Amino acid sequence: MLDARAVVEIGTGTGVSGLWLLRGMRSDGVLTTVDVEAEHQRLARQSFTEAGIPSQRARTISGAALDVLPRLTDGHYDLVFCDGDKTEYSAYLKEALRLLRPGGVVAFDNALWHNRVADPAQRDEETVAIRELGRQIAEHDDLVSLLLPVGDGLLVAKKEWNPEA
Protein backbone atom coordinates (compact mmCIF):
# COMPACT_ATOMS: atom_id res chain seq x y z
CA MET A 1 0.00 0.00 0.00
CA LEU A 2 2.73 2.46 0.89
CA ASP A 3 5.38 1.25 -1.56
CA ALA A 4 7.60 1.47 1.52
CA ARG A 5 11.31 1.95 1.06
CA ALA A 6 12.19 2.81 4.65
CA VAL A 7 10.55 1.34 7.74
CA VAL A 8 11.35 1.65 11.44
CA GLU A 9 10.36 -1.09 13.86
CA ILE A 10 10.45 -0.47 17.61
CA GLY A 11 10.71 -3.81 19.39
CA THR A 12 12.54 -6.37 17.26
CA GLY A 13 11.65 -9.48 19.21
CA THR A 14 12.80 -12.57 17.33
CA GLY A 15 12.18 -10.95 13.94
CA VAL A 16 8.71 -12.32 13.14
CA SER A 17 7.10 -8.90 12.63
CA GLY A 18 10.24 -7.71 10.86
CA LEU A 19 9.88 -10.53 8.34
CA TRP A 20 6.29 -9.50 7.61
CA LEU A 21 7.34 -5.87 7.29
CA LEU A 22 10.16 -6.77 4.90
CA ARG A 23 7.85 -8.93 2.80
CA GLY A 24 5.44 -6.00 2.45
CA MET A 25 8.12 -3.53 1.42
CA ARG A 26 9.68 -2.80 -1.95
CA SER A 27 12.41 -5.27 -2.89
CA ASP A 28 15.01 -2.55 -2.31
CA GLY A 29 13.46 -1.36 0.97
CA VAL A 30 15.36 -1.24 4.25
CA LEU A 31 14.00 -2.11 7.67
CA THR A 32 15.60 -0.37 10.66
CA THR A 33 14.71 -2.36 13.75
CA VAL A 34 15.48 -1.20 17.29
CA ASP A 35 15.51 -3.28 20.47
CA VAL A 36 17.10 -2.87 23.87
CA GLU A 37 17.92 -6.61 23.99
CA ALA A 38 21.00 -7.59 21.96
CA GLU A 39 19.83 -11.23 22.02
CA HIS A 40 16.60 -10.23 20.29
CA GLN A 41 18.65 -8.56 17.58
CA ARG A 42 20.79 -11.67 17.13
CA LEU A 43 17.72 -13.91 16.83
CA ALA A 44 16.10 -11.51 14.35
CA ARG A 45 19.21 -11.44 12.15
CA GLN A 46 19.19 -15.24 12.22
CA SER A 47 15.49 -15.29 11.22
CA PHE A 48 16.12 -12.84 8.39
CA THR A 49 19.05 -14.91 7.09
CA GLU A 50 17.06 -18.15 7.25
CA ALA A 51 14.23 -16.46 5.32
CA GLY A 52 16.65 -15.42 2.58
CA ILE A 53 16.51 -11.68 3.33
CA PRO A 54 19.70 -9.98 2.06
CA SER A 55 21.67 -8.48 4.97
CA GLN A 56 21.61 -4.97 3.46
CA ARG A 57 17.79 -4.90 3.78
CA ALA A 58 17.73 -5.07 7.59
CA ARG A 59 19.57 -2.69 9.88
CA THR A 60 19.46 -3.75 13.52
CA ILE A 61 20.24 -1.20 16.22
CA SER A 62 20.65 -2.20 19.86
CA GLY A 63 19.51 0.36 22.37
CA ALA A 64 16.53 1.99 24.00
CA ALA A 65 14.15 3.31 21.35
CA LEU A 66 13.99 6.79 22.86
CA ASP A 67 17.80 7.00 22.68
CA VAL A 68 18.00 5.68 19.10
CA LEU A 69 15.02 7.34 17.38
CA PRO A 70 16.30 10.94 17.75
CA ARG A 71 19.36 9.94 15.71
CA LEU A 72 17.26 8.83 12.71
CA THR A 73 16.56 11.13 9.74
CA ASP A 74 13.53 13.45 9.85
CA GLY A 75 10.86 12.83 7.19
CA HIS A 76 12.66 9.81 5.75
CA TYR A 77 10.41 6.91 6.71
CA ASP A 78 7.25 5.47 5.18
CA LEU A 79 6.18 3.42 8.20
CA VAL A 80 6.98 3.32 11.90
CA PHE A 81 5.77 0.15 13.65
CA CYS A 82 5.70 0.33 17.45
CA ASP A 83 5.73 -2.78 19.61
CA GLY A 84 8.03 -1.69 22.41
CA ASP A 85 7.49 -0.43 25.95
CA LYS A 86 3.79 0.45 26.17
CA THR A 87 4.44 3.24 28.68
CA GLU A 88 6.58 4.96 26.03
CA TYR A 89 3.96 4.84 23.25
CA SER A 90 3.20 8.59 23.47
CA ALA A 91 6.89 9.39 23.12
CA TYR A 92 7.13 6.98 20.17
CA LEU A 93 4.25 8.85 18.52
CA LYS A 94 6.12 12.14 18.86
CA GLU A 95 9.25 10.62 17.30
CA ALA A 96 7.24 8.88 14.57
CA LEU A 97 5.62 12.15 13.50
CA ARG A 98 9.08 13.63 13.05
CA LEU A 99 10.42 10.56 11.22
CA LEU A 100 7.50 10.02 8.82
CA ARG A 101 7.18 11.57 5.40
CA PRO A 102 3.78 13.11 4.53
CA GLY A 103 1.49 10.17 3.78
CA GLY A 104 3.53 7.88 6.03
CA VAL A 105 1.93 5.62 8.60
CA VAL A 106 2.55 4.91 12.26
CA ALA A 107 1.17 1.67 13.72
CA PHE A 108 0.90 0.59 17.36
CA ASP A 109 0.57 -3.05 18.35
CA ASN A 110 -1.47 -4.12 21.41
CA ALA A 111 -3.86 -1.17 21.07
CA LEU A 112 -6.62 -3.09 22.88
CA TRP A 113 -4.19 -4.43 25.51
CA HIS A 114 -6.00 -7.64 26.47
CA ASN A 115 -9.39 -5.88 26.26
CA ARG A 116 -8.35 -3.57 29.12
CA VAL A 117 -8.22 -0.25 27.22
CA ALA A 118 -12.02 0.06 26.88
CA ASP A 119 -12.58 -0.69 30.58
CA PRO A 120 -12.21 2.58 32.57
CA ALA A 121 -11.77 0.56 35.76
CA GLN A 122 -8.42 -0.70 34.45
CA ARG A 123 -5.81 1.80 35.70
CA ASP A 124 -2.47 -0.03 35.39
CA GLU A 125 0.36 1.96 33.84
CA GLU A 126 0.38 0.21 30.44
CA THR A 127 -3.40 0.40 29.98
CA VAL A 128 -3.50 4.08 30.89
CA ALA A 129 -0.60 4.80 28.49
CA ILE A 130 -2.30 3.03 25.58
CA ARG A 131 -5.61 4.72 26.34
CA GLU A 132 -3.86 8.12 26.36
CA LEU A 133 -2.16 7.31 23.05
CA GLY A 134 -5.58 6.69 21.49
CA ARG A 135 -6.77 10.09 22.72
CA GLN A 136 -3.67 11.84 21.40
CA ILE A 137 -4.03 10.30 17.96
CA ALA A 138 -7.79 11.03 17.79
CA GLU A 139 -7.17 14.69 18.72
CA HIS A 140 -4.23 15.20 16.33
CA ASP A 141 -5.30 17.32 13.34
CA ASP A 142 -2.67 15.87 11.00
CA LEU A 143 -3.53 12.20 11.56
CA VAL A 144 -6.22 9.99 10.08
CA SER A 145 -6.53 6.91 12.26
CA LEU A 146 -8.08 3.49 12.34
CA LEU A 147 -8.25 0.91 15.14
CA LEU A 148 -8.21 -2.62 13.77
CA PRO A 149 -9.67 -5.12 16.26
CA VAL A 150 -7.42 -7.97 15.13
CA GLY A 151 -5.37 -9.94 17.62
CA ASP A 152 -4.69 -7.59 20.52
CA GLY A 153 -5.55 -4.54 18.41
CA LEU A 154 -3.59 -2.49 15.90
CA LEU A 155 -3.89 1.31 15.95
CA VAL A 156 -2.86 2.80 12.61
CA ALA A 157 -2.57 6.50 11.75
CA LYS A 158 -1.64 8.16 8.47
CA LYS A 159 0.27 11.43 8.60
CA GLU A 160 -1.54 13.89 6.37
CA TRP A 161 0.36 16.43 4.34
CA ASN A 162 0.16 19.82 6.05
CA PRO A 163 2.05 22.63 4.28
CA GLU A 164 1.76 24.82 7.39
CA ALA A 165 3.41 22.27 9.71
Task: Give dist(CA 109, CA 117) in Å, integer.
Answer: 13
- 95: exposed, middle or buried (Cβ count in 10 Å: 0-12, 13-18, 19+): buried
Torsion of CA 63, 4, 164, 111, to 10 degrees: -60
Contacts of 38 (CB under 8 A, 6+ apart): 62
Which amino acid is located at 82 in the chain? C
Q: Which residues pair with 146 in a beta bridge?
A: 156
Which amino acid is located at 53 in the chain? I
- Asked if residue 128 has pLDDT above 70, the reply is yes
Helix or strand (DSSP H, E) at 42: helix 38-50
Task: Give pLDDT tens digits for 31-74.
Answer: 999 999 999 999 999 999 999 999 999 999 999 999 999 999 99
pLDDT of residue 41: 95
User: Structure pTM?
Assistant: 0.95
- Asked if residue 165 has pLDDT above 90, the reply is no
Taking residues 76-80, what's their average pLDDT? 98
- Asked if residue 111 has pLDDT above 60, the reply is yes
pLDDT of residue 163: 60
- Asked if residue 80 has pLDDT above 80, the reply is yes
Q: What domains does the chain contain, in order, with CATH numbers?
A: 6-159 (3.40.50.150)
Taking residues 107-124, what's their average pLDDT? 97
- Asked if residue 164 has pLDDT above 70, the reply is no
